[in-house]
Every structure is written in structure tokens, then in C-alpha cells.
Chains A and B, each alone.
Chain A
């Protein structure tokens, strides 16, 4: 662990990376909230979720974060009566994506908050390094 401040910036950068992936997935979910299948009885868009895991960086000894995988939400689809829809089955029922807009909005707000916090950390680590170098100035 030669310079903890540099390590801190690296860790915060990994946080930024992870949260922006999360934001991307949330916006994908929101964009596809109404995406039904193309053929009768077929499945619609299935909600995606991000799985984070902590990663120990051997060189610096700091705990970074990474996106382990982008999984799908296994919960059931809701069905809606819409016989004119191309995905309508024999009874006229259409399976809708398991995306709840309220949940996605809350998720997006939290992802933003975490992103901002990581950004704040990078700024501070950078300022601390700058203060240290400033000691050399007359």
C-alpha cells in the first residue's frame, strides 16, 4: 500500500463505474417497461438487476467494488387483457414486463446518490494530494 490516497481514488473510480452500470440497467428497464413479445403467448421484456461484489485489490490492499453479473429478475409477469396485441394468447391475455416504474425510480434515485458520494470521494482524495504537494510551494 504505497499511497493510500491514490488507492482511495482508484476505489472511488470503481464505485463510479459500478453505479453508472446500475443506472444504465435501470434506464433500460424503464425504457422497456411496456415491451411485450412479438408472437402470441411469448414472454415480454424481463427486468434486469445488477449484482455487486467487493473485490480486494492485492496491490493496494483496498476494497474495490465490481459488477459481478447482470442477472434477471425471476418474479412472475403480470397479465393484461388486450386481444388486439400481437402477443395475445388464445384467451386474449398479454404478459407484461415485470417492471414496476416506482421501484425503478427509487432505484435510480439511490444510484444517483451513491454516484454523487463516490464523486465526492474522488474530489476529496484529489484535494488531499494537492494540499500535500502544496507544502512545497514557498
Chain B
């Protein structure tokens, strides 16, 4: 019994988290740039929905592809709209908020790699004599 679906989901989440980390890094670096608007990624569930829609016909095929060229799979970024205060300079980055996002990214990533490692080890155990 091989949990391929779990590894696939974990890989997708790891990709989403990496893009989110990149976007947060951009926000933090541009905290003092006039006119810069804070960005974030689309929610994970909306990425999954879009990927599932696109892969209805190629379910078996997609299981083998770890890196896809399908533009459907790219994580979308959008400007932050909820709870945004725009400073006089036109900049909308809230540093504490970005650091909280970073903490979330880290703990989700730790769970992700922890799970992958555990299931991988279990699979390897069953094959070793």
C-alpha cells in the first residue's frame, strides 16, 4: 500500500509554501518602498481546486509528474485586501503581520517535511529485510 496521493499533496503544499515565503520576503524587503502594496498568495484550497479541475482527464498521468509545466499549477499572487492600512507614503506593508505569516509558513512546512519523512521511513522499513 503506497501513499502516493499523500506524497503528491505534500509536494503541492511545499511548493505553495515556498512561493508564499518568497512573496512574504518581497513584502518585508519593500516595507519602506513608497507606493508598494503588500502581496500574498491565493489560499491553498483554491490552488487545489484549480489543479483538480485541470487534471480530471489526466489523473493517472499526473501521478508520475512531480514538476509540471501546466500553467494551471502555478501559484497565483494577489495584493492583500483585508485589514490593510495604507501609510502616507502609499506603502501598505504591515511588518508584524508579515512576521506572523512567516511563523505560519514555518510550522506548516515543518509538519509537511515531518510527515513526508515518517511515511517515507515506513515505506523503506517494509522493504528492508
Q: CB within 8 Å of B: which residues of A?
A: 1, 3-5, 7-9, 11-12, 14-15, 18-19, 22, 51-54, 60, 62-65, 110, 113-114, 117-118, 120-121, 124-125, 127-128, 131-132, 134-135, 138
Contacts and interface: CB of A to CB of B under 8 A. Distances in A.
A7 B30 CA distance: 15
Nearest to B117: A135
A54 B36 CA distance: 7
B26 A124 contact: no
Interface stretch (B42-50, B57-65, B97-105): B97-105
Q: How large is the interface on B (under 10, 10 to 19, 20 to 34, 35 or more residues)?
A: 20 to 34
B52 interface: no
Contact of A11 (B17, B26, B105, B117): B26
Contacts of A131: 109-110, 113
Contacts of B15: 4
B7 to A, nearest CB: 11
Contacts, number: 108
17 contacts: A3-B18, A4-B19, A9-B25, A11-B25, A22-B32, A54-B26, A63-B39, A64-B29, A110-B32, A114-B32, A114-B95, A118-B29, A121-B21, A125-B25, A128-B17, A135-B117, A138-B121
Give the 10 A-B CB pairs with smallest separation, nearest first.
A15-B29, A8-B25, A4-B22, A4-B18, A63-B26, A11-B25, A8-B22, A52-B33, A65-B29, A131-B113
